[in-house]
Structure 1
């Protein structure tokens, strides 16, 4: 059985930074706990309820996720009520054995939601809530590879106002799953809170607007305001960057300018913008957009390649999947969205924004570790890159 290394916690203002880095790399951080350790602890502490939302699930025997599933099963055996929400499209990339194992947990109800019925999106957020007191939001999928072979970043959240908002979002999706299944009208919302002060303490952003409760800020509305606050430097790490939608219409992807325009505007006023993306991003037309962005003064882009494991090739692994940002070494963003069309506008995603210098500077250290590592290389606008196929060697 896999054993976990128990590192010290890095906490600030009711938030714990939770990071997974690929084994067999130079990217270890002894002051940060991994998601497997935190998830097991949270499930073991549950007294009455656990709500989980995931895009897909994929376990392997004797993995870290195996132990997490054991902890979830033990919670069910204690009588904890567990609700598990899975995306319909995610079922196709889940392994059936993991779904069956989840269904066999006592006091657990599994629902499959066709989120494509809502603005053609998916449940891309990866989050859960325990006892309505603590929540987890991060890039980590419910996948054994995310806990061992992928760079991931998340937050264990103890700020009760944010936990309550996340719980409300889960409840909306849980109800809407049933309404979609029954052919009934969705519970929808309008007239959301407007973010007037992006530099306020901590707050939650969510998408899509149509099914996000009124008390939560909308990602599309808040994102450009947040970027516009930058005065000196923005550090961004995402798996994928592309100002295009992820759905095709007659072989073409629609232009999605929100993120690209915001970063170009920041660079134009003298802000240094650093962007790291995964080597999975070096495919057309995404690569051409990356090269175009790299030509802008004050914008520096690196492509990150994680070496193959000693175990050999592992499909859909050995990649940077974290989705976080810091602004001026003071504001931190930790979320679940890739930075392209479809994530901020039509899919369920969550982003946590912290105006917390202590957290922002620790994320900057994490960023610098990867930025200066041998795995990150400057983009070459003249180079013809070979497309990476994450499914095949």
Structure 2
């Protein structure tokens, strides 16, 4: 913490901008973990980068702890799985094995499209876990999307939601943000969503009608409490807010500043239909409307975003007054090139240093509208300010550079150098 008996230091801090102040505060924190209102902030930063967060735990020890505490059930939903021997994920999977061996019932739901990018050996490793049932769900048959949410529930009492995939690279070479959740209502809602998808997987496999929902919570009070958002609407239960409905209402509450960190932003669908990507204006409209009424919008995206036509849309947004965009490049590891790694994958936002958003969606078409994703919104000033500090750390780092409207960027290929 700051020592108020250091006048010269305080005077220097007062001359610094908001982001620089928070960056210096990070270095002075030394707690074991950061938790507020039943939510623990969990962050992974790529090894060999200068991004210390001594008060934040990373995902692997949190996952191991949660699995080791399980007494009855563990439910897991993932887009894909990819382990490597002797990695942090390997230790997590060993912990899952131990849980199954002691009698914990484990249900593991994997997306059909995700199987294609999964490591076959990892799938076999999961299948070998005692007391575990693995199901593969073709989510494209529901909304032409994917199970993109990364989450699990332990004993119906604790949950984890975040950008971290079940991938050894996510735990060592990618910038990720998630939440260990201990709030009963939110855990219950997440559990209900898992049960819906688990049931619908069986229905799809048997070519039977799936459970869908036409009525949802609509009386959203954006500045009240903590609440869960889910997509897509068709398979979001009635007690949970739909992301597409809530997002513009939430953004409309911003009065001074919005900080956003996502891997990808583009107002187009992530998949092509008949060779074309559909226009998806929801997010773009909300950002431009906020900037138009004087809100300062700061947006950080990964260097994977510098491909066309995505880059042109990003440059267009950067021309709007009050919108400031930076592109983040994580240097190559000393181990050499690692495919699908060394990137910013976090998906979080703060509004007016009071409201925090931590989720699983990229910010483009296909995520809020067609794919299974979860977002947690917390009207918790303490959590929002800690996320602002995390944001400031990367924003002021040498890894983040202002977007150059005139620059001809070279497309990043995540599969090879």
Same fold flag (TM > 0.5): yes
**2:209 counterpart (170, 185, 207):** 185
Q: Distance in 2 between matches of 1:252 and 1:384?
A: 23
**1:219 counterpart (243, 252, 256):** 243
- Local SS of the residue matching 1:84: strand
**1:40 counterpart (44, 64, 70):** 64
Gaps of 5+ in 1: 1-5
Q: Is structure 2 residue 118 aligned with structure 1 residue 116?
A: no
> What is the aligned partner in structure 2 of residue 83 from structure 1?
107
> What is the aligned partner in structure 1 of residue 325 from structure 2?
301
- Local SS of the residue matching 1:68: helix
Gaps of 5+ in 2: 1-29
Q: How does 1:253-272 map to 2 (within 5 A)?
A: 253-272=277-296
> What is the aligned partner in structure 1 of residue 38 from structure 2?
14
Q: Distance in 2 between matches of 1:92 and 1:27?
A: 33
How far the C-alpha of 1:7 sits from its partner, in A, is 7.0
> What is the aligned partner in structure 1 of residue 126 from structure 2?
102
**2:365 counterpart (330, 341, 354):** 341
> What is the aligned partner in structure 2 of residue 244 from structure 1?
268
Q: Deviations over 1:248-279 (max 9, x none)?
A: 12221110000000000000000000000000
**2:80 counterpart (41, 44, 56):** 56
Q: Distance in 1 between matches of 2:183 and 2:214?
A: 25
- Local SS of the residue matching 1:225: helix
Q: Distance in 2 between matches of 1:181 and 1:195?
A: 36
Q: Is structure 2 residue 400 aligned with structure 1 residue 390?
A: no
Q: Distance in 1 between matches of 2:375 and 2:218?
A: 16
- Local SS of the residue matching 1:254: coil
The answer to whether the Cα contact below 8 Å between 1:54 and 1:85 also exists between their aligned partners in 2 is yes
**1:331 counterpart (342, 347, 355):** 355
- Local SS of the residue matching 2:260: strand
Q: Deviations over 1:70-100 (max 9, x none)?
A: 0000000000000000000000000110000
The answer to whether the Cα contact below 8 Å between 1:76 and 1:108 also exists between their aligned partners in 2 is yes
Moved more, 240-249 or 266-275: 240-249
The answer to whether the Cα contact below 8 Å between 1:195 and 1:222 also exists between their aligned partners in 2 is no
Q: Deviations over 1:32-63 (max 9, x none)?
A: 00000000000000000000000000000110
**1:287 counterpart (295, 303, 311):** 311
Q: Distance in 1 between matches of 2:146 and 2:52?
A: 32
Q: Distance in 1 between matches of 2:219 and 2:248?
A: 11
Structure whose alpha-carbon radius of gyration is higher:
2
**1:135 counterpart (159, 166, 170):** 159
Q: Deviations over 1:9-51 (max 9, x none)?
A: 1000000000000000011210000000000000000000000
Q: Distance in 2 between matches of 1:170 and 1:15?
A: 20
Q: Distance in 1 between matches of 2:81 and 2:234?
A: 26
> What is the aligned partner in structure 2 of residue 146 from structure 1?
170
Please give the TM-score of this superposition, normalised by the length of structure 1.
Answer: 0.98
Please give the TM-score of this superposition, normalised by the length of structure 2.
Answer: 0.92
- Local SS of the residue matching 1:165: helix
What is the number of equivalent residue pairs in this alignment?
A: 388
Q: Distance in 1 between matches of 2:77 and 2:194?
A: 7
Q: Distance in 2 between matches of 1:151 and 1:22?
A: 6
**2:398 counterpart (356, 374, 386):** 374
Q: Distance in 2 between matches of 1:355 and 1:195?
A: 16
Q: Distance in 1 between matches of 2:253 and 2:281?
A: 19
Q: Distance in 1 between matches of 2:220 and 2:409?
A: 42
The answer to whether the Cα contact below 8 Å between 1:7 and 1:33 also exists between their aligned partners in 2 is no
